[in-house]
């Protein structure tokens, strides 16, 4: 049974105030398991807090100075419920063992002094159970992630077709309205409109909507012959986009630090969409950040859907976006809420990143601000443009 598992993949933590018992345990089982030890419950808890994700089994003596074993088991249950918890207790402490069983704090209990052969069997059974449960959870997580990604891909594809068609239709109608406004003449000219301020506002609103619909059409439209023909280096490609945006950034006294390493592997991208992605992110940063804010761009090599890729982060120090807004605009399954213009632009960014076979996420930074993380594969997934 045991030859199917790597028993040293996860650790066994043994807590006992008797140092000879700890040494004997380490000698008895150190060749089979990765052993951690502590001489009291508080030190054992500290190890769980620091290395809980690496611990499979916790064994603890009940009678120790300070906090007792059942206290540590309960703390471990709350912090790392996946750890299998074993109480080592003398016959005189059976009431504590029974209470721990009834509260769900332990997996098993072992009598003290423990027998090596019996404890070896208990550890093998516990570790095998832990590893099987771990493999099952990872498999379920992988399947759930794959199913969700497929559902998202299908929904984004459908939304993209609808968005591209509607944006083209509405844009054409608004261009007609703009042409009519232009024919009225410039404000203040002979034959011009009676309310020049109203015409200026209407013209500005129409131009803004036309621009937004153009961005939506570019970001959501995927053609059968769309190719990822542009090979780029991330740092200089972003430097070119920043150069184009520099006048607008300078007007708001917003600084952007391009901290992307030079030695990252090249990306193959759909260049117009790639440029539009970062133009929209910077546009919204300009609209939402206070004057004098800072933006940092960083990137590292990272796996994307299990394949080589890069992870690029854009971090600002402005006000954090509302959680409800973020959940709405980056979740294609969301059906309620009223996304702002910021939200519409993020939806376009979502289209573009999906087009490249990647992912986009955003969360609030610990010290304030927002962190956008964009992961793009090398090269894009086959068929992601379709």
What pLDDT does 171 receive? 59
Please answer whether residues 301 and 309 qualify as being in contact, where contact means their C-beta atoms are separated by less than 8 angstroms. yes
Q: Where does the pLDDT of residue 218 fall: very low under 50, low under 70, confident under 90, or very high at 90 and above?
A: low
Lowest mean pLDDT: which of 21-25, 83-87, 332-336? Answer: 332-336
Does pLDDT of 334 surpass 50? no
Does pLDDT of 237 surpass 90? yes
Does pLDDT of 333 surpass 50? no
Where is pLDDT greater, at 51 or 224?
51
Give the mean pLDDT of the chain.
78
What pLDDT does 235 receive? 95
What pLDDT does 94 receive? 66
Does pLDDT of 152 surpass 70? no
Q: Which of 1-15, 56-70, 161-175, 202-216 has the highest mean pLDDT?
A: 56-70
Where is pLDDT greater, at 371 or 174?
371
Lowest mean pLDDT: which of 168-177, 194-203, 215-224, 330-339? Answer: 330-339
Sequence-ordered list of residues with C-beta below 8 angstroms from that of 257, at least 6 positions apart, any chain = 294, 295, 296, 297
| In the chain, % of residues over pLDDT 90 | 33
Sequence-ordered list of residues with C-beta below 8 angstroms from that of 309, at least 6 positions apart, any chain = 301, 302, 303, 358, 375, 376, 377, 378
Q: Which of 89-98, 118-127, 282-291 has the highest mean pLDDT?
A: 118-127
Does pLDDT of 331 surpass 80? no
What pLDDT does 307 receive? 86
What pLDDT does 174 receive? 63
What pLDDT does 366 receive? 73
Q: Where does the pLDDT of residue 36 fall: very low under 50, low under 70, confident under 90, or very high at 90 and above?
A: very high
Q: Which of 124-133, 169-178, 377-386 has the highest mean pLDDT?
A: 124-133
| Range list of β-strands (E), 165-317 | 230-232, 255-258, 267-269, 294-304, 307-316
Q: What tokens were used for 20?
A: 């000879």
Distance of CA 260 to CAs 235, 256, 265, Å? 5, 12, 12
What pLDDT does 328 receive? 54
What is the Cα–Cα distance from 215 to 348, expressed in whole angstroms?
Answer: 7
| Range list of β-strands (E), the chain | 11-15, 34-38, 55-61, 84-89, 108-111, 230-232, 255-258, 267-269, 294-304, 307-316, 359-364, 370-377
CA 196 to chain centre: 49
Kind of pairing between the strands at 55-61 and 84-89: parallel
Q: Where does the pLDDT of residue 224 fall: very low under 50, low under 70, confident under 90, or very high at 90 and above?
A: very low
Q: What tokens were used for 266?
A: 């090249």
Q: Which of 169-178, 185-194, 267-276 has the highest mean pLDDT?
A: 267-276
| In the chain, % of residues over pLDDT 70 | 66
Q: Where does the pLDDT of residue 12 fall: very low under 50, low under 70, confident under 90, or very high at 90 and above?
A: very high
What pLDDT does 40 receive? 94
What pLDDT does 184 receive? 59
Question: What length does the chain have?
Answer: 386
Q: Report, as an integer, the average pLDDT of 364-376.
A: 85
Q: Where does the pLDDT of residue 386 fall: very low under 50, low under 70, confident under 90, or very high at 90 and above?
A: very low
Lowest mean pLDDT: which of 87-101, 156-170, 290-304? Answer: 156-170
* pTM for this predicted structure: 0.50
Q: Report, as an integer, the average pLDDT of 271-279.
A: 89
Does pLDDT of 347 surpass 60? yes
Q: Which of 165-174, 269-278, 332-341 has the highest mean pLDDT?
A: 269-278
Q: Where does the pLDDT of residue 316 fall: very low under 50, low under 70, confident under 90, or very high at 90 and above?
A: very high
What pLDDT does 144 receive? 64
């Amino acid at each position: 049974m045991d030859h199917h598992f790597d028993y040293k993949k996860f650790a066994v933590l043994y807590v006992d105030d008797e140092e000879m018992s700890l040494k004997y345990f380490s000698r008895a089982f150190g060749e089979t398991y990765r052993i951690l030890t502590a001489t009291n419950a508080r030190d054992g808890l500290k190890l769980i807090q620091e290395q809980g994700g690496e611990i499979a089994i916790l064994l603890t003596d009940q009678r120790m100075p300070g906090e007792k074993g059942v206290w540590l088991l309960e703390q471990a249950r709350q912090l790392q419920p996946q750890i299998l918890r074993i109480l080592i207790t003398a016959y005189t402490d059976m009431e504590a063992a029974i209470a721990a069983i009834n509260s769900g704090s332990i997996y098993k209990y072992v009598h003290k002094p423990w027998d090596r052969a019996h404890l070896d069997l208990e550890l093998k059974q516990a570790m095998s159970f832990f590893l099987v449960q771990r493999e099952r959870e990872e498999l379920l997580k992988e399947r759930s992630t794959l199913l969700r990604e497929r559902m998202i891909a299908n929904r984004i594809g459908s939304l993209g077709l609808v968005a591209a068609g509607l944006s083209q239709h509405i844009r054409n109608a608004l261009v007609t309205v703009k042409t009519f406004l232009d024919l009225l003449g410039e404000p203040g000219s002979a034959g011009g409109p009676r309310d020049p301020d109203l015409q200026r506002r209407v013209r500005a609103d129409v131009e803004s909507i036309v621009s937004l619909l153009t961005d939506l059409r570019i970001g959501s439209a995927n053609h059968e012959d769309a190719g990822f023909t542009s090979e780029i280096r991330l740092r200089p490609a972003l430097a070119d986009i920043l150069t184009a945006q520099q006048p607008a950034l300078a007007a708001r006294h917003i600084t952007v630090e391009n901290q992307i390493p030079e030695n990252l592997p090249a990306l193959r991208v759909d260049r117009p969409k790639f440029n539009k992605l970062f133009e929209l992110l910077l546009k919204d940063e300009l609209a939402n950040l206070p004057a004098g804010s800072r933006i940092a761009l960083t990137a590292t090599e990272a796996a994307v859907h299990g394949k080589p890729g890069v992870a690029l982060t854009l971090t600002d120090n402005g006000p954090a976006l509302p959680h409800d807004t973020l959940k709405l605009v980056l979740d294609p399954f969301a059906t309620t809420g009223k996304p702002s213009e910021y939200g519409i632009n993020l939806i376009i960014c979502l289209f573009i990143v999906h087009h490249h076979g990647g992912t986009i996420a955003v969360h609030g930074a610990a010290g304030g601000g927002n962190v956008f993380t964009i992961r793009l594969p090398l090269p894009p997934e086959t068929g992601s443009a379709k």
